[in-house]
């Protein structure tokens, strides 16, 4: 039996549940993307509703071929799927991985839901998988994402200049952040504190 560093798992919190992505999630993800017309943000890679089946198929192919683990994000209060996120760029030998491909319907952005999702993912990475580092990357021009990652407690490692070519040939600079294992206890305490705070719509 082939060893896999990460295996499908469901992570449950008070606000949200992360469940392994499946083809059946595509219609709900299409509805989530419509809230805010997320595919129109040029610095993100959210699929438009008519291509969500393809988006999910690509994520599942990454899971099967590269050991990634994509999740659908379900809001507990409503039972609705409101976005997705992913473990990927998994380096089992060095016990490192990246959290990314994260997006949410506009109505749940900057709420406790994202904070709790990141807490669940990081807890699984550091305490179950014994990762030594977890990485986050985002587009230079995605200022909201950069600020949200910093609010988690991640530190900026640097900027990869001309890191990728976009679909229309635009060159992407990628900002790299990470949390390392000896920082995790403080980050965990910080995220738990964030979740206990009264929030007038403003979290990570």
Contact 135, 25 (CB under 8 A): no
Q: How far apart are CA 72 and CA 86, in angstroms?
A: 9
Q: What is the pLDDT along the chain (204 residues), one digit of tens a residue?
A: 344 788 999 999 999 999 999 999 999 999 999 987 887 766 667 888 899 999 999 999 999 987 899 999 999 999 999 999 999 999 999 999 999 999 999 999 888 999 999 999 999 999 999 999 999 999 999 898 899 899 999 999 999 999 988 767 789 899 999 999 999 999 999 999 999 876 543 333
Q: How far apart are CA 82 and CA 72, in angstroms?
A: 8
Contact 178, 134 (CB under 8 A): yes
Read off φ and ψ for residue 78, nearest 5 degrees: -110, -20
Q: How far apart are CA 95 and CA 5, in angstroms?
A: 8
Q: How far apart are CA 122 and CA 150, in angstroms?
A: 14
In the numeric block, the tokens 């606000």 are attached to 15
The domains of the chain, with CATH numbers, are 11-196 (3.40.630.30)
Q: How far apart are CA 194 and CA 204, in angstroms?
A: 9
Q: How far apart are CA 101 and CA 79, in angstroms?
A: 21
Three-state DSSP class for residue 4? coil
What per-residue string of b and e applies to 118-132 under the rule 16 or more CB within 10 Å gives b?
bbbbbebbbeebebe
Three-state DSSP class for residue 147? helix
Give the pLDDT of residue 162. 94
DSSP state for residue 48 in the 8-state scheme: P
Give the pLDDT of residue 47. 85
């Amino acid at each position: 039996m082939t060893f896999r560093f990460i295996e499908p798992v469901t992570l449950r919190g008070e606000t949200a549940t992360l469940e392994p992505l499946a083809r059946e999630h595509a219609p709900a993800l299409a509805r989530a993307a419509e809230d805010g017309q997320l595919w129109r943000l040029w610095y993100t890679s959210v699929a438009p509703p008519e291509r969500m089946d393809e988006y999910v198929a690509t994520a599942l192919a990454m899971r099967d071929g590269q050991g990634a683990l994509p999740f659908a994000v379900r809001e507990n209060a409503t039972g609705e799927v409101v976005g997705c996120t992913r473990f990927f760029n998994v380096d089992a030998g060095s016990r490192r991985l990246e959290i990314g491909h994260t997006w949410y319907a506009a109505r749940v952005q900057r709420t406790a839901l994202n904070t709790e999702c990141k807490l669940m993912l990081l807890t699984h990475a550091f305490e179950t998988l014994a990762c030594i580092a977890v990485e986050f990357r985002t587009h230079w021009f995605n200022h909201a994402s950069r600020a949200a990652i910093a609010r988690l407690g991640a530190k900026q490692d640097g900027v990869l200049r001309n890191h990728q070519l976009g679909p229309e040939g635009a060159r992407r600079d990628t900002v790299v952040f990470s949390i390392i294992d000896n920082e995790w206890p403080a980050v965990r305490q910080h995220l738990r504190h964030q979740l206990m705070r009264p929030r007038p719509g403003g979290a990570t």
